Chains A and B, each alone.
Chain A
């Protein structure tokens, strides 16, 4: 893992001190709430329905045990004993006091954490592959490039007041676990036939009220030209993105308005002028790369007797292994995905005690490496199969062994009306209700991979557009209704879901999901996921079944 050096640490300390002063000026009445708002937002501090919310950055979703314990500790001392992991792989505390935030930031800085650029119209936290460094699929470690982007974007003077927020995803696997095609910039590491490393550059994807799958504006950008190219893209956006209407200010609107070809032409023209002088030196990339050099893995065989014995003895462990363990690149190792979607839980929430458990497991069994996924789960990327039974037992004792990764109860949900000032409808109770309906694991496994994503408003923090089943909360004359979309995907086969029909009242949603699942089970061909069946049959059979029952 990347370790912050003195320079990184001094940077965080300076930033924490700066914000402390700004808070003091606010508390002393020297600046108005309106002036302060922009300052606090730039530091991840929101004023929500009930309290301040602090969004802590977790760069490319990567944590070590000390950092996770610190987050647990802050949750315990300054919040209500928990935190909420988001689709940006950040951690939010929802019950924060303004006067305590400087102290929190100082404490975070002691473990190399911060809240810089977790909000505001700037370059936000980078999303990357939670399996980075552990999956055999990847052709490079995407964290190398994510860390380089983190540095380049930190208080970037020219790009700190963009028309709107700006989000990067970096992946290097054919299987995309970052939703790269629905980001402002998605970078997919590619290797040319001659072995040269580069990126496919996707610009202008996004969700919100105008969802787009981003077009590829460059099939292959040589890796050593990344930063001059990013300069060019960001400069074109900064100068020409709309600023008259915040709903139309994201780069996706500019790309769509110009057309991908014209946008590409402008970027390439600008890139010519920027020149290679703006690129990050190879020496710095090499330094970052060295920090991510693989830890020494033990030489093991593929088959672990301890693992096989435990599976045979304990059906619960066998089920966990089937659903939550993923193949590792090294023999005898596995990737453990920890679901934060226990039946009845708030998706993405973890208590401080649970965070401590995961930190301990990461330290003891997982090379001190813990990841956050954009689907609001946690990952221990490097666990020996031999140790998997012990990890499972500890997770189960902490209520963290729900064996539902990628199943129908592994639901993304934004905080919705329960916490968020923007929301029109609740998201959490809907997620909980669906999870209860499909609590029978046998049935959930029979259904197989099915991604439900719920947003409490059109801003789409719950990624509903790219859910296999998407659920969008809308307000109709003071009543909460839910709009269903089917067939979305945020993965490598990204697509925006199609509207099923008129919005449903809250108490009809779970029945509708049940009906959709039944139609799928009836219609599916051998080996087809829900998404595949939907793509083959189209919306008609689902629509018919859901609205026939509604009448």
Chain B
């Protein structure tokens, strides 16, 4: 078992877990993710490595409750853990060689964005961060970003913190004023990454997004995480999850994420335990 050593609720329905996984911690780089399985009957769930500590032999994950499996993870307590944890998976993101980068995070996206922003800062980059959320109480990692950002902006849908409106509005203002950004990294809801990419394309600003496609194995074996990038089909788990935002077919990704909506509802509704589920049987 991979034990949880520390747990903190950092916002409404968002928890931060520190998990014992020394071998993974030793190899983790910004951009890597894990796949966890809570118990024998659970799904394999991909989660970004939000932070890692080689000395302690721990990795930190930040999980938002959206459906059954993420709730199951959020409900785990210190001392409990994951039956399986595999990683680090995916291609790490390159963070050296930039002078000035703008990092845009939306909602839970701030979590996967953080290790990248931190690594950029460590490599001497000027980091400008824009963090967004629906409301102030859902905004996460503000302090952490404050520490590593040269400038920090915030946006909430209701104006309860920072700019009232979307992160893209803040970004547009910035891009109008400053033309020395060399890279934008945007991580958040698919629709946000789409809008950011459309905006930065107008300014010819190189943009990296990180896709949270549906995944099974995470090793390139099943092809379930397919994404069209430019003219090519790529697998988010091994070729990504970070891609050039100007080339990703976001509409396809938005549609693919809706694939299991009906079944997800069923899991949420059904308190059923044991035996085979009847709707899969024929008369």
A joins B in a complex: no
